[in-house]
């Protein structure tokens, strides 16, 4: 079951208040407006895996409440964490999601392409799998393939569209030099 939780979205920073809430820091800002943050909620319980270096194995739980502070930080309540002491025991853990079961209130449209296949829009050549999604402060950056991979900004100039299906495909329009800049020795 834990193999499904391969998409690391953030880290539990610290306990918040007395009822077991925690502050979660997302590694990438959500692409939504401040007004939307006020109404963005988890629908149902969202399964997550918590992992920390000092734990022998991860701990599967569910997020059952989210209140956003800003596009990168939220107050979350995890099932089974019912007091400040329990929250302090899990702080510092990484939060991993199953990319096939992304919770509405904790993710956005960019998260939905994690694991998709990137293809060149003109040649239809397969560029590789989207293995990570980063943030450079201005927009999301897709990593295609293993480190260092091909890095492509999630902007209209490069992203033509997303073809739903199995597998999901992200159509990319690279500018001259984009793919070559990511080759070893470039």
Beta-sheet pairing, 126-135 with 117-120: antiparallel
CA–CA gap between residue 23 and residue 10 (Å, rounded): 10
Beta-sheet pairing, 126-135 with 140-144: antiparallel
Q: Which domains, and CATH codes, for the chain?
A: 2-106 (2.40.30.60), 111-181 (2.30.30)
Please check whether residue 121 is in contact with residue 13, taking contact to mean a CB–CB distance below 8 angstroms: no
Angle at 144 between CA 115 and CA 182, to 5 degrees: 175
In the structure, how many helices (H) and strands (E) does the chain have? Answer: 3, 12
Listed in sequence order, the residues at least 6 apart from 53 whose beta carbon sits closer than 8 Å to its beta carbon are: none
In terms of Cα–Cα distance, which of 80, 98, 100, 99 is closest to 89? 80
CA–CA gap between residue 16 and residue 11 (Å, rounded): 14
One digit per residue, pLDDT tens: the chain, 186 residues? 456 889 999 999 999 999 999 999 999 888 777 777 777 777 678 899 999 999 999 999 999 888 888 888 999 999 999 999 999 999 999 999 998 888 877 888 899 999 999 999 999 999 999 999 988 878 899 999 988 888 999 999 999 999 998 889 999 998 877 776 666 555
The pTM assigned to this predicted structure is: 0.83
Beta-sheet pairing, 21-26 with 46-51: unpaired
Q: Which residues of 7-39 are buried (b: 16+ CB within 10 A; e: fewer)?
A: bbbbbbeebbeeebbbbbebebbbeeeeeeeee
Q: What is the pLDDT of residue 185?
A: 55
Listed in sequence order, the residues at least 6 apart from 122 whose beta carbon sits closer than 8 Å to its beta carbon are: 173
In terms of Cα–Cα distance, which of 83, 71, 17, 80 is closest to 50? 80
């Amino acid at each position: 079951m834990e193999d499904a939780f391969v998409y690391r979205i953030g880290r539990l920073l610290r306990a918040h208040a007395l009822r077991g809430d925690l502050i979660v820091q997302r590694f990438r800002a959500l692409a939504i407006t401040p007004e939307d943050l006020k109404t963005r909620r988890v629908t149902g319980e969202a399964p997550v895996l918590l992992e920390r270096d000092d734990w022998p194995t991860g701990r599967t739980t569910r997020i059952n409440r989210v209140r956003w502070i800003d596009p990168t930080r939220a107050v979350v309540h995890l099932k089974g964490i019912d007091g400040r002491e329990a929250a302090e025991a899990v702080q510092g853990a990484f939060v991993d999601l199953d990319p096939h079961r992304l919770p509405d209130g904790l993710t956005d449209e960019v998260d939905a392409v994690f694991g998709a296949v990137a293809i060149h829009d003109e040649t239809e050549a397969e560029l590789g799998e989207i293995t990570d999604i980063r943030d450079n402060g201005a927009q999301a950056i897709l990593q295609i393939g293993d480190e260092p991979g091909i890095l492509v900004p999630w902007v209209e100039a490069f992203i033509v569209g997303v073809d739903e299906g199995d597998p999901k495909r992200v159509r990319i329009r690279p500018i001259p030099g984009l793919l070559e800049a990511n080759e070893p020795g470039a």
